[in-house]
Structure 1
Amino acid sequence: MVNKTVPPTFGLVAGLGVGAGIFYYRSLVKALLADGISPRILMVHADVKRVMAHAQARETHALATYLRDLLQQLADGGVQVATIPAFSPQICAQELANLTPLPLIDLLDAIVAEVNRLNWMRLAIFGARVTIETRLFGRLEAIEVVDLDPAELDAVSTIYSCIVENERASAEEESTLQTLAHSLIARHRLDGILLAGTDLSFVFTPERTSFSHIDGARVHIDAIHKSLIAYPVP
């Protein structure tokens, strides 16, 4: 029987970057408290520079092994279900699935489901370079993903790296991304932009985003929330 007053102990691999982990934590606590549920959340801190280096070098086995060890720390602390609230680590998702000591609420599954729900057929991606270059790690096979040109890719990936490092975007950085989004949508007749970077979520809030978009992190948070309130606790 599902117990909706005692959620499972949930684990977050935080630090990828710090602002994104805090965003997930605050959003989940707010959603669960609104349901009258007291959250049970444990976090472990990841080395973002190490993760990004492995991801950029496509060192998937090394990255999966590192993430497995972090997830094991959460499991040792009593966590029952976990997630990795970041996009770049998803490059090793298949290998990690064979190593993880915990069930994971998958970021990419949630996004693909939302793209399908909205019946989007043509989009561009904003996020880290590895996320853009791999077209969301090959998970959008049925969708036409429009590639950014080299200058656009450099601009988006550089700005995103700055946002991760500074936990904020400057007015100029935000304006550059907004302008580029509108240009891409008009030029390529896109359904919209997929925001595939967790740190983009606290820059492009719903009330401040003027272009058609899917916010991957917010979609994932909603999926986590739904999973936690439905998760069977012994």
Structure 2
Amino acid sequence: MASPSDSLPLGLVAGLGLGGGIFYYRSLVQEHMARGLTPRILMTHAEVARVLDLAAARAKQELAEYLADLLGQLARGGAQLGIIPAFAPQVCATELARLSPLPLVDLLDAIAGEVTLRHLHRVAIFGARVTMETALFGRLHGVAEVVDPQPEELSRIADLYRRIVEKERASEEEFEILRNLAHTLVERERLDAILLAGTDLSFVFKPDNTDFPHVDGARVHIAAIMRSCSA
């Protein structure tokens, strides 16, 4: 029987960039402990290359079916709330919502809510190519103006992000390139913020080393998860 210090059992689809999954797990444990809650987290592992390839191809139904199968494994293990801790798979968010055996804490809704709350009117997105090219899968339409980087800038950001996902870290040079690009875009385009829409960017750009206005999508999502599982 669950005690008052228990939270809702969470089902985390890890492996969507191993570093990102570890970041979510560590952050969720820390947030539970800070609230005096006992974390109950189940995990299963996705094939990151398969997910990224399906997302890039916009194969929404196939990707949703694959993720729903993983969520089903978590549901059978006792999870009551599902978490997709990555941005690229959100390309199939609508399809997955119909198939998922678990209720999901919507990453994109959490970010749209944060952008609205902070009255951000002009933003640019850093993350995987599919996330940038679709302007966060259209979820910010009517919420904020999304300013596209120039084509060569977008390719540079996408290539750097994929390398970070593969290596689970960023070199000092990669960090500085992204940081300088962020400053350039904020100044040239008069942006209110850079939206860090890649989970692996959250362990590259931390509160103590990020000196440009930004929205940390993964941390916003984690806050929303905690509201849902400890309500």
Give yes or no for contact 1:4–1:229 (8 Å, CA) kept in 2. Answer: no
Give yes or no for contact 1:13–1:44 (8 Å, CA) kept in 2. Answer: yes
- Looking at structure 1, the residues matched to 33 and 184 of structure 2 have their Cα atoms a distance apart, in angstroms, of 40
- Give ranges in structure 1 of 5+ residues lacking alignment: none
| Aligned match of 1:129 | 129
| Aligned match of 2:56 | 56
Which contiguous aligned blocks of 4+ residues in structure 1 show a shift greater than 2 angstroms?
none
Q: Which amino acid aligns with 2:180?
A: T
Q: Which amino acid aligns with 1:137?
A: F
Matched position secondary structure for 1:211: coil
Instruction: After TM superposition, give the deviation of residue 43 of structure 1 in Å.
Output: 0.3
- Looking at structure 2, the residues matched to 89 and 3 of structure 1 have their Cα atoms a distance apart, in angstroms, of 34
Q: Taking every aligned residue pair, what percent have the same amino acid on both sides?
A: 60
Give yes or no for contact 1:195–1:215 (8 Å, CA) kept in 2. Answer: yes
Instruction: After TM superposition, give the deviation of residue 4 of structure 1 in Å.
Output: 4.2
Give yes or no for contact 1:196–1:217 (8 Å, CA) kept in 2. Answer: yes
| Aligned match of 2:201 | 200
| Aligned match of 1:47 | 47
| Aligned match of 2:24 | 24
Instruction: After TM superposition, give the deviation of residue 7 of structure 1 in Å.
Output: 1.2
Matched position secondary structure for 2:159: helix
* Residues 107-146 of structure 1 aligned to structure 2 (within 5 Å): 107-142=107-142, 143-146=144-147
Instruction: After TM superposition, give the deviation of residue 127 of structure 1 in Å.
Output: 0.1
| Aligned match of 2:65 | 65
Question: How many positions carry a matched residue from both structures?
Answer: 229
* Residues 171-210 of structure 1 aligned to structure 2 (within 5 Å): 171-210=172-211
Q: Which amino acid aligns with 2:154?
A: L
- Looking at structure 2, the residues matched to 224 and 99 of structure 1 have their Cα atoms a distance apart, in angstroms, of 20
| Aligned match of 1:224 | 225
Matched position secondary structure for 2:191: coil
- Looking at structure 2, the residues matched to 3 and 94 of structure 1 have their Cα atoms a distance apart, in angstroms, of 35
TM-score, scaled to structure 1: 0.96
Q: Which amino acid aligns with 1:78?
A: G
TM-score, scaled to structure 2: 0.97
* Residues 90-109 of structure 1 aligned to structure 2 (within 5 Å): 90-109=90-109
- Looking at structure 2, the residues matched to 4 and 134 of structure 1 have their Cα atoms a distance apart, in angstroms, of 42
- Give ranges in structure 2 of 5+ residues lacking alignment: none
| Aligned match of 2:37 | 37
Give yes or no for contact 1:42–1:79 (8 Å, CA) kept in 2. Answer: yes
